[in-house]
Structure 1
Amino acid sequence: MRVAVVGIGAMGCLFGAKLSQVAEVTLVGNWPAQLAALRERGLRLIQPDGRSQIIQLPVSNNPETAAPADLALILVKSHQTRQAAETAQLLLAPNGVALTLQNGLGNLEQLTAVLGQTRANLGITSEGAALLEPGVVRHAGTGHTYIAASQETAVPPQEIVALFQAAGFPTSLAADTAGLVWGKLAINAGINPLTAVLQVPNGFLAENEAARRLMQQAAEEVAHVAAAQNIRLPFNDAADQALTVAQATAANHSSMRQDLANGRPTEIEAICGAVVQYGRRFGVPTPVNSVLQTAVQQAEQGTWPEASTPEASLQLLTQKIEQFHN
Structure 2
Amino acid sequence: MTIKNVSIIGLGALGVMYGQYLSKKLPKQNLSIIADQQRIENYQNQGIYCNGERCEFHYVTPEEVVRPADLVIFTVKFNGLREAIEAVRHHVGEQTILISALNGISSEGIIGETYGLDKVLYCVAQGMDAVKVGNKLSYDHMGLLCFGERQPGVISKKMKRLAAFFDEVELPYEIESDMFKRQWGKFMLNVGVNQTVAVHRGNYGDIQKEGPAREMMIAAMRDVIALSEQEGVNLTEEDLTYWLSVLNTLSPEGKPSMAQDVEARRYSEVDLFSGTVITLGEKYGLPTPINHELYDRIKLMESDYEVSMNH
**TM, length-normalised to structure 2:** 0.84
Other-structure match for 1:262: 264
Return the offset for 1:104: 0.8
Partners of 2:6 and 2:237 in 1: CA distance: 33
- Distance of aligned partners of 1:240 and 1:171 in 2 relative to their CA distance in 1, 3 Å threshold: closer
Stretches of structure 2 that go unaligned for 5 or more consecutive residues are 306-311
Q: Quick check: 110-119 or 125-134, which moved more?
A: 125-134
Return the offset for 1:247: 6.8
Deviations 1:295-315 (A, max 9, x none): 212211218xxxxxxxxxxxx
Deviations 1:269-304 (A, max 9, x none): 11111122222223332111122112212211218x
Other-structure match for 2:247: 245
More strand by share: 1
- Residue 149 in structure 1 maps to residue 149 in structure 2: yes
Deviations 1:227-271 (A, max 9, x none): 233314487052674376157332112100111222322111111
CA RMSD of aligned residues (A): 2.9
Query: Which amino acid counterpart does residue 8 of structure 1 have in structure 2?
Result: L
- Distance of aligned partners of 1:286 and 1:63 in 2 relative to their CA distance in 1, 3 Å threshold: farther
Query: Which amino acid counterpart does residue 7 of structure 2 have in structure 1?
Result: A
Partners of 1:79 and 1:63 in 2: CA distance: 21
Other-structure match for 2:132: 131
Instruction: Say whether the 8 Å CA contact 2:7–2:33 is kept in structure 1.
Output: yes
| Equivalent of 2:10 in 7, 10, 23 | 7
Deviations 1:174-195 (A, max 9, x none): 2211111111111111111122
Q: Name the SS of the counterpart of 1:118 in structure 2.
A: helix
Partners of 1:293 and 1:113 in 2: CA distance: 28
Other-structure match for 1:27: 33
Instruction: Say whether the 8 Å CA contact 1:201–1:252 is kept in structure 2.
Output: yes
Return the offset for 1:133: 3.1
Q: Name the SS of the counterpart of 1:293 in structure 2.
A: helix
Partners of 1:230 and 1:189 in 2: CA distance: 19
Other-structure match for 2:44: 39
Instruction: Say whether the 8 Å CA contact 2:186–2:243 is kept in structure 1.
Output: no
Partners of 2:111 and 2:140 in 1: CA distance: 28
Q: Name the SS of the counterpart of 1:156 in structure 2.
A: helix
Partners of 1:107 and 1:87 in 2: CA distance: 15
Other-structure match for 1:107: 107
Partners of 1:271 and 1:96 in 2: CA distance: 29
Q: Name the SS of the counterpart of 1:141 in structure 2.
A: coil
Partners of 2:258 and 2:210 in 1: CA distance: 19
Q: Name the SS of the counterpart of 1:104 in structure 2.
A: coil
Return the offset for 1:106: 1.0
Partners of 2:226 and 2:177 in 1: CA distance: 22
The aligned runs of 1:195-214 (5 Å cut-off) are 195-207=197-209, 209-214=211-216
Q: Name the SS of the counterpart of 1:294 in structure 2.
A: helix
Query: Which amino acid counterpart does residue 112 of structure 2 have in structure 1?
Result: T
- Distance of aligned partners of 1:278 and 1:252 in 2 relative to their CA distance in 1, 3 Å threshold: same
Instruction: Say whether the 8 Å CA contact 1:2–1:70 is kept in structure 2.
Output: yes
Instruction: Say whether the 8 Å CA contact 1:74–1:99 is kept in structure 2.
Output: yes
Instruction: Say whether the 8 Å CA contact 2:148–2:155 is kept in structure 1.
Output: no
Q: Name the SS of the counterpart of 1:64 in structure 2.
A: coil
Query: Which amino acid counterpart does residue 73 of structure 1 have in structure 2?
Result: I
**TM, length-normalised to structure 1:** 0.80
Instruction: Say whether the 8 Å CA contact 1:8–1:31 is kept in structure 2.
Output: no
- Distance of aligned partners of 1:160 and 1:104 in 2 relative to their CA distance in 1, 3 Å threshold: same
Partners of 1:12 and 1:66 in 2: CA distance: 20
Instruction: Say whether the 8 Å CA contact 1:222–1:275 is kept in structure 2.
Output: yes
Aligned residues: 296
Other-structure match for 1:77: 77
Instruction: Say whether the 8 Å CA contact 1:220–1:239 is kept in structure 2.
Output: no
- Distance of aligned partners of 1:149 and 1:120 in 2 relative to their CA distance in 1, 3 Å threshold: closer
Partners of 2:18 and 2:201 in 1: CA distance: 27
- Distance of aligned partners of 1:160 and 1:60 in 2 relative to their CA distance in 1, 3 Å threshold: same
Other-structure match for 1:191: 193
Partners of 1:192 and 1:30 in 2: CA distance: 29
- Distance of aligned partners of 1:203 and 1:30 in 2 relative to their CA distance in 1, 3 Å threshold: farther
Partners of 2:260 and 2:65 in 1: CA distance: 30
Deviations 1:112-131 (A, max 9, x none): 11112222222111142221
Other-structure match for 2:278: 276
Stretches of structure 1 that go unaligned for 5 or more consecutive residues are 47-51, 304-326
